[in-house]
Structure 1
């Protein structure tokens, strides 16, 4: 009898242990890899209504990854958050294959506090985390956590971000007739500082190129684009608005935070800087970030009685699970005449946890059922009697 029980235990162990390992491995692979595909495969490129002779430009826009430095957060939390962002980003690259990726500031959580060595290390981690495939170009703009708010910016802080991320105070990037103006929000304070002066000079230059390309009589230079289309603004701060009270998206700022008044140059650009940008560049679309929440704002400016400038501005929620339970990013399809936007969701933190728990419960139930069947089968054959 003792021999029979030993054989039963040995048989159960041999048959059960591989199934336990296989089940745990599947749960790990699903919750750490496959779930990002399951979630993001539901998000598709937005379709344009008009048919264009030129292939549209496909761009991915994300914001506020806030990669932790050595001062804030435990190393395990830092590793976990960066692992999540890397899996989500690389899955997006595989599924969507955008031509252009824009990161709207606050790449780093402590960029304005880091030593030169710490800054170089986090920049290297950023490039490893947000690796783009061949044929895709990544652009980054500065956020207040990267170089500090305006009052804290030094030439050293601004200079190292510009050099390592190739992010000038203002820059024009063109892809097949789609023009993007990338801006450093902290350089738009209008106080005449050296950084602000550089930004204004570059914006005026870009504005003149756009005017010349559009055949305006106000054109001063000779540089022209191959094809004129209204530009798209890309920056960290939202354009001026009184608050988020007009934001009605499900992932907008919660109440009562949504009704809190914005502080100019802190929560958004100043009204003067916004009017300067709009009147100089005349955008058709704008993207900002900074609030970590979503918003679609409709802007209307009337610089002259016979001319009105109207466009939508999208505030991009944070890409980090540390800032939101439901990180998101945008996909943008743009042609010379039209632009269309869709918002893509990443798996929620609780979804990952609940999925793992339910799978573990299912594994335990399956093993109990399998073992009961296996015991009955072994008892029948080892005893030579029917059970």
Structure 2
């Protein structure tokens, strides 16, 4: 019996300590990795209202916005590290669970792109592609935001050129996938003042507009280039289209009050009214996606350029993907055919959800270890002949 008691104590310690470390390790892995899968597995691709044309598969696209990767000027290094790896884990979970064939990033990839020198910008780009890595089977397209190159008044040819070159993001780009057409636009180049960048952008929009007219069989066609299959395009840009404010946004994750009632400043918070009308009349979109506000919004637009013609479409403002900008970051999943655009909004775990989950799991671990300790203490007393 005297030899059994030390052995029992050693057995207790050799089992207690591993249980403690295994429990803490599981809590860490769950709160830092698995929770992103648990939350996002609840979100999936939206169902189409009708079957697509035979032989034509829907396009499955993911849309994120406003990642705002920190540079060397703003924020503490720990905040920078924490937020970036949160986005990385969340993005990789989304890619694993949903496997989109194309990802659109709607601007403000970088928080300090408009200020940083060349070496820092190159580091920025490498970090972005590392954090938001996609498989070879997935295409990624980025549109520029005001934090990437600055608002219109401070854009230089160098700032615009380096983003275009490194991110493969010209001021206007037409992307066609199985009869679905996306027009990617530099919002800051829609100033309408005839600057070099603006003139280039307007000329390319006019060219794409003509391609779309020719593809649709319009009598206004002035060229020979046509798309293999016509459908109204989808606009992708950083700014929202013109609206007076977010007051008309009724989504649960719209801008909070009283911020929601603040009037927008054209060319700063949204496109100008003139630029919006120009885009709509030139491209006749069936949907539009923007960002910039960091909040969600869905609007149904109806433009009537002439008395016998109406252009109707839905505009979505995509919330920020970063915990620095929102307590509940979001992204969109799009199921697209030439006839339909269906949208699912997916949420990432809130910061407090991560913290409360960690606290509750730690408390559960402590209760379990307390119970384990009590049972072993009772066994020790019984074997030692002590009164229980």
TM over 0.5: yes
Q: Is 1:311 matched up with 2:310?
A: no
Q: Measure the CA separation in 2 of the matches of 1:159 and 1:55.
A: 36
**How big is the shift at 1:50?**
1.0
Q: Measure the CA separation in 1 of the matches of 2:69 and 2:232.
A: 33
Q: Measure the CA separation in 2 of the matches of 1:278 and 1:157.
A: 28
Q: Is 1:183 matched up with 2:152?
A: no
**How big is the shift at 1:95?**
0.5
Q: Is 1:215 matched up with 2:221?
A: no
> What residue is the counterpart of 1:63 in the other structure?
65
> What residue is the counterpart of 2:103 in the other structure?
101
**Residue among 80, 89, 92 paired with 1:90:** 92
Residues 47-58 of structure 1 aligned to structure 2 (within 5 Å):
47-52=47-52, 53=54, 54-58=56-60
Q: Measure the CA separation in 1 of the matches of 2:154 and 2:5.
A: 75
Q: Measure the CA separation in 1 of the matches of 2:64 and 2:2.
A: 65
**How big is the shift at 1:7?**
5.3
> What residue is the counterpart of 2:238 in the other structure?
236
**How big is the shift at 1:166?**
0.5
TM-score (structure 2 length as normaliser): 0.97
**How big is the shift at 1:255?**
0.7
SS of equivalent residue, structure 2 residue 312 = strand
Residues 250-289 of structure 1 aligned to structure 2 (within 5 Å):
250-289=252-291
> What residue is the counterpart of 1:30 in the other structure?
30
Number of aligned residue pairs: give it. Answer: 386
**How big is the shift at 1:289?**
0.3
TM-superposition CA deviations, 1:2-35 (whole Å, max 9, x none): 9887656533321110000100010011001110
Q: Which moved more, 1:7-16 or 1:326-335?
A: 7-16
> What residue is the counterpart of 1:16 in the other structure?
16
Q: Measure the CA separation in 2 of the matches of 1:288 and 1:44.
A: 21
| Structure 1 unmatched ranges of 5 or more | none
Q: Measure the CA separation in 2 of the matches of 1:379 and 1:292.
A: 62
* 1:40–1:92 contact (8 Å) kept in structure 2: yes
TM-score (structure 1 length as normaliser): 0.97
**How big is the shift at 1:51?**
0.5
RMSD of aligned alpha carbons: 1.5
TM-superposition CA deviations, 1:339-359 (whole Å, max 9, x none): 111100100000000000000
> What residue is the counterpart of 1:39 in the other structure?
39
* 2:5–2:380 contact (8 Å) kept in structure 1: no
Q: Is 1:363 matched up with 2:365?
A: yes
Q: Is 1:165 matched up with 2:167?
A: yes
> What residue is the counterpart of 2:226 in the other structure?
224
Q: Measure the CA separation in 1 of the matches of 2:263 and 2:300.
A: 18
**How big is the shift at 1:108?**
0.3
SS of equivalent residue, structure 2 residue 334 = strand
SS of equivalent residue, structure 2 residue 184 = strand
**How big is the shift at 1:376?**
1.2
* 2:215–2:226 contact (8 Å) kept in structure 1: yes
TM-superposition CA deviations, 1:273-324 (whole Å, max 9, x none): 0000000000000000000000001111111110000111000000000000
* 1:62–1:318 contact (8 Å) kept in structure 2: yes
Q: Measure the CA separation in 2 of the matches of 1:5 and 1:191.
A: 88
**How big is the shift at 1:384?**
5.2
* 1:8–1:375 contact (8 Å) kept in structure 2: no
Q: Is 1:337 matched up with 2:339?
A: yes
| Structure 2 unmatched ranges of 5 or more | none
